Structure 1
Amino acid sequence: MKASELLLTRQSSPRLTTPAPTTEQLDFILNAAARVPDHGGLTPWEFIIAQDDGLTRLAEIFVSAAKKSQADEALIEKAEKMPFRAPLVITVVAKTQTHSKVPIIEQHIAAGCATMAMQQAVFSLGLGAVWRSGDFAFDRNVHQDLGLHDNDQIVGFLYIGTPTVTAPIKSLKEGRQFARFL
Protein backbone atom coordinates (compact mmCIF):
# COMPACT_ATOMS: atom_id res chain seq x y z
CA MET A 1 0.00 0.00 0.00
CA LYS A 2 1.34 3.41 -0.96
CA ALA A 3 1.75 5.94 1.84
CA SER A 4 -0.55 8.38 0.04
CA GLU A 5 -3.29 5.76 -0.17
CA LEU A 6 -2.85 4.83 3.48
CA LEU A 7 -3.08 8.45 4.62
CA LEU A 8 -6.22 9.22 2.59
CA THR A 9 -8.17 6.01 3.20
CA ARG A 10 -7.46 5.41 6.89
CA GLN A 11 -10.49 4.63 8.98
CA SER A 12 -11.26 2.64 12.07
CA SER A 13 -12.12 -1.05 11.93
CA PRO A 14 -14.50 -1.53 14.85
CA ARG A 15 -15.24 -5.23 14.24
CA LEU A 16 -12.11 -7.28 14.75
CA THR A 17 -11.28 -10.94 15.20
CA THR A 18 -8.31 -13.29 15.12
CA PRO A 19 -5.67 -13.53 14.00
CA ALA A 20 -3.88 -10.83 15.93
CA PRO A 21 -0.61 -9.49 14.57
CA THR A 22 2.26 -11.97 14.55
CA THR A 23 5.28 -11.28 16.75
CA GLU A 24 7.09 -9.84 13.74
CA GLN A 25 4.12 -7.64 12.84
CA LEU A 26 3.77 -6.44 16.44
CA ASP A 27 7.46 -5.46 16.46
CA PHE A 28 6.88 -3.45 13.26
CA ILE A 29 3.85 -1.74 14.85
CA LEU A 30 5.79 -0.84 18.00
CA ASN A 31 8.81 0.33 15.99
CA ALA A 32 6.55 2.64 13.97
CA ALA A 33 5.33 4.16 17.24
CA ALA A 34 8.87 4.79 18.40
CA ARG A 35 9.61 6.86 15.26
CA VAL A 36 7.15 9.68 15.93
CA PRO A 37 8.29 13.23 16.68
CA ASP A 38 9.74 13.30 20.18
CA HIS A 39 11.08 16.70 21.23
CA GLY A 40 13.93 16.24 23.66
CA GLY A 41 14.07 12.48 23.08
CA LEU A 42 11.92 11.93 26.17
CA THR A 43 10.03 8.92 24.76
CA PRO A 44 6.99 9.96 26.81
CA TRP A 45 5.00 6.78 26.22
CA GLU A 46 4.48 3.23 27.36
CA PHE A 47 2.61 0.50 25.53
CA ILE A 48 0.81 -2.05 27.72
CA ILE A 49 -0.05 -5.04 25.56
CA ALA A 50 -2.99 -7.30 26.39
CA GLN A 51 -3.41 -10.52 24.47
CA ASP A 52 -4.74 -13.95 25.45
CA ASP A 53 -4.68 -14.01 29.29
CA GLY A 54 -3.83 -10.30 29.24
CA LEU A 55 -7.29 -9.57 27.80
CA THR A 56 -8.84 -11.37 30.77
CA ARG A 57 -6.67 -9.32 33.15
CA LEU A 58 -7.69 -6.09 31.40
CA ALA A 59 -11.36 -7.12 31.69
CA GLU A 60 -10.86 -7.71 35.43
CA ILE A 61 -9.33 -4.23 35.76
CA PHE A 62 -12.28 -2.65 33.92
CA VAL A 63 -14.85 -4.58 35.99
CA SER A 64 -13.11 -3.66 39.24
CA ALA A 65 -13.08 0.02 38.26
CA ALA A 66 -16.75 -0.10 37.26
CA LYS A 67 -17.70 -1.68 40.59
CA LYS A 68 -15.63 0.85 42.55
CA SER A 69 -17.49 3.66 40.76
CA GLN A 70 -20.79 1.97 41.66
CA ALA A 71 -21.76 1.43 38.02
CA ASP A 72 -24.97 -0.40 37.25
CA GLU A 73 -24.95 -4.06 36.27
CA ALA A 74 -25.26 -3.31 32.54
CA LEU A 75 -22.07 -1.22 32.57
CA ILE A 76 -20.23 -3.86 34.59
CA GLU A 77 -21.22 -6.52 32.04
CA LYS A 78 -20.12 -4.22 29.20
CA ALA A 79 -16.78 -3.57 30.95
CA GLU A 80 -16.16 -7.31 31.18
CA LYS A 81 -16.59 -7.72 27.42
CA MET A 82 -14.75 -4.61 26.22
CA PRO A 83 -11.21 -6.02 25.93
CA PHE A 84 -12.49 -8.94 23.86
CA ARG A 85 -13.53 -6.67 20.98
CA ALA A 86 -10.17 -7.59 19.42
CA PRO A 87 -7.51 -10.25 19.92
CA LEU A 88 -4.94 -7.64 20.99
CA VAL A 89 -5.30 -4.35 22.86
CA ILE A 90 -2.50 -1.87 23.39
CA THR A 91 -3.08 0.61 26.18
CA VAL A 92 -1.07 3.70 25.26
CA VAL A 93 0.11 5.73 28.22
CA ALA A 94 1.63 9.20 28.16
CA LYS A 95 4.55 9.00 30.61
CA THR A 96 5.25 12.65 31.21
CA GLN A 97 8.03 14.39 33.05
CA THR A 98 8.83 17.95 33.94
CA HIS A 99 11.15 19.42 31.34
CA SER A 100 12.24 23.02 30.77
CA LYS A 101 11.75 22.87 26.99
CA VAL A 102 9.08 20.19 26.47
CA PRO A 103 5.68 21.03 28.01
CA ILE A 104 3.43 18.26 29.28
CA ILE A 105 0.91 18.81 26.49
CA GLU A 106 3.62 18.19 23.90
CA GLN A 107 4.43 14.89 25.61
CA HIS A 108 0.75 13.90 25.52
CA ILE A 109 0.64 14.78 21.82
CA ALA A 110 3.74 12.63 21.20
CA ALA A 111 1.98 9.66 22.84
CA GLY A 112 -1.05 10.38 20.65
CA CYS A 113 1.19 10.45 17.58
CA ALA A 114 2.61 7.08 18.65
CA THR A 115 -0.94 5.72 18.78
CA MET A 116 -1.71 7.05 15.31
CA ALA A 117 1.56 5.64 13.94
CA MET A 118 0.67 2.22 15.35
CA GLN A 119 -2.78 2.37 13.80
CA GLN A 120 -1.30 3.34 10.42
CA ALA A 121 1.26 0.52 10.69
CA VAL A 122 -1.58 -1.92 11.43
CA PHE A 123 -3.45 -0.81 8.29
CA SER A 124 -0.30 -1.05 6.18
CA LEU A 125 -0.11 -4.74 7.19
CA GLY A 126 -3.65 -5.38 5.98
CA LEU A 127 -4.97 -5.68 9.54
CA GLY A 128 -7.51 -3.47 11.28
CA ALA A 129 -7.57 -1.28 14.37
CA VAL A 130 -9.75 1.10 16.28
CA TRP A 131 -8.51 3.70 18.78
CA ARG A 132 -10.87 4.08 21.71
CA SER A 133 -10.68 6.13 24.88
CA GLY A 134 -13.75 6.41 27.09
CA ASP A 135 -14.12 6.72 30.84
CA PHE A 136 -11.64 3.96 31.67
CA ALA A 137 -8.83 5.97 30.10
CA PHE A 138 -9.34 8.55 32.85
CA ASP A 139 -10.31 6.25 35.71
CA ARG A 140 -7.74 6.41 38.52
CA ASN A 141 -8.64 2.86 39.57
CA VAL A 142 -7.69 1.59 36.11
CA HIS A 143 -4.47 3.61 36.29
CA GLN A 144 -3.62 2.16 39.69
CA ASP A 145 -4.33 -1.43 38.61
CA LEU A 146 -2.10 -0.94 35.56
CA GLY A 147 0.70 0.32 37.80
CA LEU A 148 0.67 3.88 36.45
CA HIS A 149 2.00 6.89 38.32
CA ASP A 150 0.04 10.02 39.21
CA ASN A 151 1.38 12.02 36.25
CA ASP A 152 0.70 9.24 33.72
CA GLN A 153 -2.33 9.46 31.44
CA ILE A 154 -3.88 6.82 29.22
CA VAL A 155 -4.12 8.27 25.71
CA GLY A 156 -6.26 5.43 24.47
CA PHE A 157 -6.81 1.76 23.91
CA LEU A 158 -5.77 0.56 20.46
CA TYR A 159 -7.77 -2.54 19.53
CA ILE A 160 -6.00 -4.58 16.83
CA GLY A 161 -6.98 -7.63 14.82
CA THR A 162 -8.34 -8.83 11.53
CA PRO A 163 -11.41 -6.94 10.28
CA THR A 164 -14.57 -9.06 10.10
CA VAL A 165 -16.16 -6.73 7.55
CA THR A 166 -14.83 -4.42 4.88
CA ALA A 167 -16.18 -1.03 5.78
CA PRO A 168 -16.96 1.32 2.90
CA ILE A 169 -14.37 4.05 2.55
CA LYS A 170 -15.71 7.26 4.04
CA SER A 171 -15.84 10.26 1.79
CA LEU A 172 -12.72 12.38 1.85
CA LYS A 173 -12.91 15.59 3.83
CA GLU A 174 -11.21 18.38 1.98
CA GLY A 175 -8.46 19.64 4.25
CA ARG A 176 -8.70 23.17 2.92
CA GLN A 177 -12.04 23.65 4.66
CA PHE A 178 -10.11 23.64 7.94
CA ALA A 179 -7.26 25.83 6.73
CA ARG A 180 -6.75 29.52 7.23
CA PHE A 181 -3.89 31.44 5.64
CA LEU A 182 -2.25 34.41 7.29
Structure 2
Amino acid sequence: MPHANPAALEFLLNRRSRPAKTLTTPVPTRDELIPILTAAARTPDHGKLEPWRFIVLGHGALQEIAAKIPARGAALGIEDEKIEKAQRQYADAHLAVVVVAAPKENPKIPLIEQLYSAGAVCLALLNAALAAGWGANWLSGWASHDPDFCRDALNLGEGETVAGLIHIGSQTNTPPERPRPDLDAITDWSRA
Protein backbone atom coordinates (compact mmCIF):
# COMPACT_ATOMS: atom_id res chain seq x y z
CA MET A 1 0.00 0.00 0.00
CA PRO A 2 1.51 3.40 -0.96
CA HIS A 3 2.14 6.06 1.64
CA ALA A 4 -0.61 8.60 1.01
CA ASN A 5 -0.47 12.35 1.57
CA PRO A 6 -4.17 13.23 1.88
CA ALA A 7 -3.48 16.92 2.52
CA ALA A 8 -1.49 17.25 -0.71
CA LEU A 9 -4.16 15.41 -2.72
CA GLU A 10 -6.90 17.54 -1.17
CA PHE A 11 -4.97 20.68 -2.13
CA LEU A 12 -4.57 19.52 -5.73
CA LEU A 13 -8.23 18.54 -6.00
CA ASN A 14 -9.33 21.98 -4.82
CA ARG A 15 -6.60 24.33 -6.05
CA ARG A 16 -7.83 27.41 -7.87
CA SER A 17 -5.78 30.04 -9.67
CA ARG A 18 -6.60 33.64 -8.82
CA PRO A 19 -7.03 36.09 -11.71
CA ALA A 20 -3.87 38.19 -11.98
CA LYS A 21 -5.89 41.42 -12.12
CA THR A 22 -7.24 40.67 -8.61
CA LEU A 23 -3.80 40.22 -7.03
CA THR A 24 -2.36 43.05 -4.95
CA THR A 25 0.25 43.76 -2.30
CA PRO A 26 1.80 42.52 -0.21
CA VAL A 27 3.73 40.13 -2.42
CA PRO A 28 6.22 37.52 -1.25
CA THR A 29 9.57 38.81 -0.07
CA ARG A 30 12.72 37.29 -1.52
CA ASP A 31 12.95 34.98 1.51
CA GLU A 32 9.31 33.93 1.05
CA LEU A 33 9.79 33.40 -2.68
CA ILE A 34 12.87 31.17 -2.34
CA PRO A 35 11.00 28.05 -1.10
CA ILE A 36 8.38 28.56 -3.81
CA LEU A 37 11.10 28.69 -6.50
CA THR A 38 12.88 25.77 -4.86
CA ALA A 39 9.71 23.67 -5.05
CA ALA A 40 9.27 24.57 -8.72
CA ALA A 41 12.89 23.70 -9.46
CA ARG A 42 12.23 20.13 -8.27
CA THR A 43 10.32 19.53 -11.50
CA PRO A 44 11.62 16.57 -13.53
CA ASP A 45 14.33 18.05 -15.72
CA HIS A 46 15.49 15.17 -17.93
CA GLY A 47 18.96 14.18 -16.85
CA LYS A 48 19.65 17.30 -14.79
CA LEU A 49 19.64 19.48 -17.90
CA GLU A 50 17.63 22.16 -16.10
CA PRO A 51 16.23 23.44 -19.42
CA TRP A 52 14.62 26.45 -17.76
CA ARG A 53 15.42 29.39 -15.54
CA PHE A 54 13.60 32.11 -13.60
CA ILE A 55 13.44 35.90 -13.89
CA VAL A 56 11.82 37.61 -10.91
CA LEU A 57 10.13 40.87 -11.90
CA GLY A 58 9.29 43.39 -9.20
CA HIS A 59 6.86 46.28 -9.65
CA GLY A 60 9.47 48.66 -11.11
CA ALA A 61 10.64 46.16 -13.73
CA LEU A 62 7.03 45.34 -14.62
CA GLN A 63 6.35 49.06 -15.18
CA GLU A 64 9.38 49.33 -17.48
CA ILE A 65 8.24 46.33 -19.49
CA ALA A 66 4.68 47.67 -19.70
CA ALA A 67 6.02 50.92 -21.19
CA LYS A 68 7.63 48.98 -24.07
CA ILE A 69 4.48 47.15 -25.13
CA PRO A 70 2.61 49.87 -27.09
CA ALA A 71 5.45 50.53 -29.55
CA ARG A 72 6.14 46.84 -30.12
CA GLY A 73 2.46 46.05 -30.52
CA ALA A 74 2.05 48.84 -33.06
CA ALA A 75 5.12 47.62 -34.98
CA LEU A 76 3.55 44.15 -35.17
CA GLY A 77 0.14 45.49 -36.18
CA ILE A 78 -1.54 44.18 -33.02
CA GLU A 79 -5.04 45.51 -32.34
CA ASP A 80 -5.22 48.40 -29.84
CA GLU A 81 -7.41 46.39 -27.47
CA LYS A 82 -4.88 43.54 -27.35
CA ILE A 83 -2.01 45.99 -26.84
CA GLU A 84 -3.81 47.61 -23.91
CA LYS A 85 -4.61 44.22 -22.36
CA ALA A 86 -0.97 43.14 -22.60
CA GLN A 87 0.22 46.44 -21.16
CA ARG A 88 -2.20 46.14 -18.22
CA GLN A 89 -0.93 42.61 -17.51
CA TYR A 90 2.46 44.08 -16.66
CA ALA A 91 1.52 47.57 -15.44
CA ASP A 92 -1.03 46.35 -12.90
CA ALA A 93 1.19 43.60 -11.49
CA HIS A 94 3.33 43.81 -8.38
CA LEU A 95 5.34 40.58 -8.76
CA ALA A 96 5.72 38.07 -11.57
CA VAL A 97 8.15 35.25 -12.15
CA VAL A 98 9.04 34.55 -15.76
CA VAL A 99 9.73 30.88 -16.40
CA VAL A 100 12.16 30.87 -19.29
CA ALA A 101 12.43 27.75 -21.41
CA ALA A 102 16.18 27.46 -21.96
CA PRO A 103 16.71 24.21 -23.87
CA LYS A 104 20.13 22.62 -23.97
CA GLU A 105 21.68 20.72 -26.87
CA ASN A 106 21.49 17.04 -25.98
CA PRO A 107 21.39 14.05 -28.33
CA LYS A 108 19.29 12.02 -25.87
CA ILE A 109 16.71 14.61 -24.76
CA PRO A 110 14.48 16.01 -27.53
CA LEU A 111 13.58 19.70 -27.53
CA ILE A 112 9.89 18.93 -27.01
CA GLU A 113 10.60 17.11 -23.75
CA GLN A 114 12.64 20.06 -22.51
CA LEU A 115 9.75 22.37 -23.34
CA TYR A 116 7.32 20.08 -21.51
CA SER A 117 9.63 20.32 -18.51
CA ALA A 118 9.49 24.12 -18.63
CA GLY A 119 5.70 23.95 -18.74
CA ALA A 120 5.75 21.61 -15.76
CA VAL A 121 7.89 24.17 -13.90
CA CYS A 122 5.17 26.77 -14.51
CA LEU A 123 2.53 24.54 -12.94
CA ALA A 124 4.80 23.58 -10.05
CA LEU A 125 5.56 27.26 -9.39
CA LEU A 126 1.86 28.16 -9.56
CA ASN A 127 0.92 25.35 -7.16
CA ALA A 128 3.77 26.13 -4.78
CA ALA A 129 2.68 29.77 -4.57
CA LEU A 130 -0.92 28.73 -3.93
CA ALA A 131 0.15 26.15 -1.34
CA ALA A 132 2.17 28.87 0.42
CA GLY A 133 -1.04 30.89 0.77
CA TRP A 134 -0.53 33.43 -2.01
CA GLY A 135 -2.82 34.11 -4.93
CA ALA A 136 -1.22 33.15 -8.23
CA ASN A 137 -1.99 32.99 -11.94
CA TRP A 138 -0.14 31.61 -14.97
CA LEU A 139 -0.34 33.94 -17.98
CA SER A 140 1.34 34.48 -21.32
CA GLY A 141 0.14 36.59 -24.25
CA TRP A 142 1.38 37.91 -27.57
CA ALA A 143 4.21 39.95 -26.05
CA SER A 144 5.66 36.93 -24.25
CA HIS A 145 5.67 35.00 -27.54
CA ASP A 146 7.39 37.71 -29.58
CA PRO A 147 11.11 36.88 -29.79
CA ASP A 148 12.21 40.50 -30.30
CA PHE A 149 10.15 41.76 -27.37
CA CYS A 150 11.46 38.96 -25.14
CA ARG A 151 15.04 39.73 -26.14
CA ASP A 152 14.69 43.48 -25.59
CA ALA A 153 12.38 43.57 -22.55
CA LEU A 154 13.40 40.39 -20.73
CA ASN A 155 16.98 39.87 -21.95
CA LEU A 156 16.25 36.39 -23.22
CA GLY A 157 19.11 34.68 -25.00
CA GLU A 158 19.20 32.94 -28.35
CA GLY A 159 16.87 29.93 -28.34
CA GLU A 160 15.15 30.94 -25.11
CA THR A 161 11.38 31.48 -24.92
CA VAL A 162 8.87 32.37 -22.24
CA ALA A 163 7.08 29.28 -20.94
CA GLY A 164 4.88 31.42 -18.72
CA LEU A 165 4.59 34.37 -16.38
CA ILE A 166 3.45 33.43 -12.91
CA HIS A 167 1.86 36.41 -11.17
CA ILE A 168 1.97 36.14 -7.37
CA GLY A 169 0.41 38.38 -4.74
CA SER A 170 -2.24 38.76 -2.11
CA GLN A 171 -5.67 37.68 -3.23
CA THR A 172 -8.43 40.24 -2.94
CA ASN A 173 -11.29 37.80 -3.45
CA THR A 174 -12.07 34.15 -4.03
CA PRO A 175 -13.41 33.60 -7.52
CA PRO A 176 -16.35 31.26 -7.98
CA GLU A 177 -15.60 27.69 -8.91
CA ARG A 178 -15.62 27.13 -12.64
CA PRO A 179 -16.73 24.06 -14.57
CA ARG A 180 -14.08 21.36 -14.68
CA PRO A 181 -13.45 18.77 -17.39
CA ASP A 182 -15.78 15.77 -17.56
CA LEU A 183 -13.38 12.96 -16.66
CA ASP A 184 -15.47 10.36 -18.50
CA ALA A 185 -15.29 12.42 -21.69
CA ILE A 186 -11.50 12.74 -21.65
CA THR A 187 -10.46 9.32 -20.31
CA ASP A 188 -10.15 6.10 -22.31
CA TRP A 189 -10.31 3.11 -19.94
CA SER A 190 -10.53 0.49 -22.72
CA ARG A 191 -6.98 -0.73 -22.17
CA ALA A 192 -6.91 -0.68 -18.38
With normalisation by structure 1, the TM-score equals: 0.89
Aligned mates of 2:7, 2:140 — CA distance in 1: 29
Residue 174 of structure 2 is aligned to residue 166 of structure 1? yes
Residue 49 of structure 2 is aligned to residue 38 of structure 1? no
Structure having the higher Rg: 2
Aligned mates of 2:39, 2:72 — CA distance in 1: 31
Structure 1 segments unaligned to the other structure (5+ residues): none
Residue 29 of structure 1, CA deviation: 1.2
In the alignment, which residue of structure 2 is the partner of 1:6?
A: 11
Residue identity in the other structure for 1:58: I
| Preserved contact between residue 17 and residue 137 of structure 2 (Cα < 8 Å) | yes
Aligned mates of 1:80, 1:172 — CA distance in 2: 30
- The two structures, once aligned, show a CA RMSD in angstroms of 2.0
2:67 to 54, 60, 63: 60
In the alignment, which residue of structure 2 is the partner of 1:111?
A: 118
Cα 1:172/1:140, change in 2 over 3 Å: closer
Structure 2 segments unaligned to the other structure (5+ residues): 1-5
Aligned mates of 1:131, 1:77 — CA distance in 2: 19
Aligned mates of 2:143, 2:155 — CA distance in 1: 14
SS at match of 1:35: coil
| Identity of matched residues, % | 36
Matches within 5 A, 1:17-166: 17-145=24-152, 146-166=154-174
Residue identity in the other structure for 1:147: N
Aligned residues: 182
